[in-house]
Amino acid sequence: MVKYIFVTGGVMSGLGKGITAASIGRLLTDIGYKVIPIKVDPYLNIDAGTMNPFQHGEVYVLKDGTEVDLDLGHYERFIGVEVTGEHNVTTGKIYMSVLEKERKGEYLGSTVQIIPHITDEIKNWIRRVAEKSQAEICLVEIGGTVGDIESMSFLEAIRQMHNEEKDEDFALVHVTLVPLDSGGEQKTKPTQHSVKELRSIGLQPDVIVGRCKEKLLVSTKKKIALFCDVSVEAVVSAHDAREIYEVPLMFKEEKLDEYLIRKLKLKKRKESTTWTDMVKRLKSLEREVTIAVVGKYIHVKDAYISIREALKHGGIAAGCKVNMILIDSEELEKFGEFQLDVDGILVPGGFGSRGSEGKILAIKYARENDIPFLGICFGFQLAVVEFARNVLGLKNANSSELADTDYPVIDLLPEQKEIDKLGGTMRLGDIEITIKPNTIAWKLYGKEKILERHRHRYEVNPEFIPDFEKAGIVFSGYSDSGRRMEILELHDKRFFLGTQFHPEFKSKPYAPSPPFIGFVSAALEYAENRS
């Protein structure tokens, strides 16, 4: 029998429901249970693929190629599972499924309504994914906040599920804000109002997680328990942590795992210390490196969240803290020259011409000054463009995505050009890559075949590959029987590597991505040699 834990939020968005859910998942994984996450996004979009990073943050890509909300990245990093597009439910998906059934006549002429048809579809979707995944515990985060009109059908579905499931198979965790007033007093009124809103639709939280800058006082917990009708032990402090990876340990200290074990009638099967050991190592790091990340979405904190975390993971493996400096590629383009004292330069993925010349300036600086460099997806492509211009002498070389050029060193392959529909040529998700022996990539991965996630459309133009290889570029990874270049490296540099894929999407704090380990290790060696 599957047990369900639902995580909702109140007062305001951005409180950390995703980290809360992921941390709960980690705690239950560590005692031996198979936890499967589901993220509910109340927006009408089918998926996050077309969403602007300035509004929504990073678009995370799953192994099956589904483009989803960044919280799925937290789940995979914390819980250690790989999920598919079924694990991301949106209002758009639910409505599309219901309307398709209506058109087929599956409702036998009934008037299709929010209740029961939409709510039934939500419940069936959650249960189907839990059963298909063979989950013992299904962890469901409801996006948005209680009171949002977009979330109402999902909250109603949860209310119905609560009545349909056994009491020991259902738990509701509500995340709320406990602000400090000007005098530093912890205020519980926002939490009280949020729980009142939740109870007005028939839902009573089993656990209240209070987000506060400081640890919740016992008196604060007692007040929340009194007015929100939960036990004091069910009020959990989620105060600010230095690292997000400390949150599961914070919850363990608050005995949230013990409370859920009792509520859901679980038993500890084991006690893994993998996570605890990783956090101890992370907190003990003393050496430091500074990495410049050159992108155009730097004003949005979550736009490069997987990059930031993968750098951190690489630092754990290399034995150093990673300080990340975000550089606006558009401003760099205006300035016309990269001038920054850093230990490494990373150019991440992206789309479009805006800021691309600034990224090329950063790549040129890294190559000419032998500074450790990692280019990811668009960064890989622009490294090819930079090399073509400044080494091969093809002055107006470019990607055909960005400009009309006599030297389209990055281009669509012939079969891609035959597909008219925009997006039909996009490569998404896990693709098998072959690595050549005696290369940096081989040293990093230690095997011939790897699976990495993709999110791109354009490729290295095969017509120019012989010229690149003759001039010193080694294409050390390829796919599609050698037709598509996946990894490039320069052997006369400390570390100069580009990947067409996104290695950050598979990186975990206890299993860092190989390219990030190599990059951060090279940056550390460079920093120590300089000092």
Q: Which string of b and e fits 475-513 if b means at least 16 CB within 10 Å?
A: bbbbbeeeebbbbbbbeebbbbbbbbbbbbbbbbbbebb
Beta-sheet strand order (sheet of 137-142):
88-90, 35-41, 137-142, 3-9, 170-177, 207-212, 235-239
Which one from 56, 313, 454, 502 is the annotated catalytic residue?
Answer: 502
Q: Is 243 a catalytic site residue?
A: no
Return the closest-CA partner of residue 457 out of 348, 404, 378, 385: 378
Instruction: Estimate the crossing angle of helix 514-530 against helix 305-318, to 10 degrees.
Output: 60
Q: Are 6 and 235 a contacting pair, CB within 8 Å?
A: no
Please state, as a whole number, how many other Cβ atoms lie within 10 Å of the Cβ of residue 154: 27
Q: Report the C-alpha gap between 238 and 15 in whole angstroms.
A: 10
Q: Are 57 and 302 in contact, with CB atoms under 8 Å apart? A: yes
**φ/ψ of residue 511, rounded to 5:** -150, 70
Distance (Å, rounded) from C-alpha 129 to C-alpha 113? 23
Is residue 227 within 8 Å of 192, Cβ to Cβ?
yes
In sequence order, the β-bridge partners of residue 6 are 140, 172
The residues near 37 (Cβ < 8 Å, ≥ 6 apart) are 21, 22, 25, 72, 75, 79, 81, 83, 87, 138, 139, 140, 141
- The whole-angstrom separation of Cα 518 and Cα 531 is 20
Question: Is 502 among the catalytic positions?
Answer: yes
CA 446 to the chain's CA centroid? 26
Q: Which helix (H) or strand (E) segment is 161 a member of? A: helix 152-164
Cα 254 to Cα 15, 188, 333, distances in angstroms: 18, 19, 49
CB 308 within 8 A of CB 63: no
Q: How far apart are CA 129 and CA 121, in angstroms?
A: 12
List 67, 357, 459, 504, catalytic entry: 504
Q: At 237, is the secondary structure helix, strand, or coil?
A: strand
Cα 39-141-271 angle, rounded to 5 deg? 105
Distance of CA 233 to the CA centre of its chain: 31
Q: Where are the beta strands (DSSP E) in 263-355?
A: 288-295, 321-328, 344-347
Catalytic hit among 58, 138, 377, 486: 377
Residue 504 annotated among the catalytic residues of the structure: yes
Amino acid at 495: F
Would you say the C-alpha torsion 523, 524, 526, 531 has a positive or negative sign? Answer: positive
Taking Cα atoms as reference points, which of 310, 316, 399 lies closest to residue 346?
310
- Could you tell me if residue 310 is left (phi over 0), alpha (psi between -120 and 50 degrees) or otherwise beta? alpha
Catalytic residues: 377, 502, 504
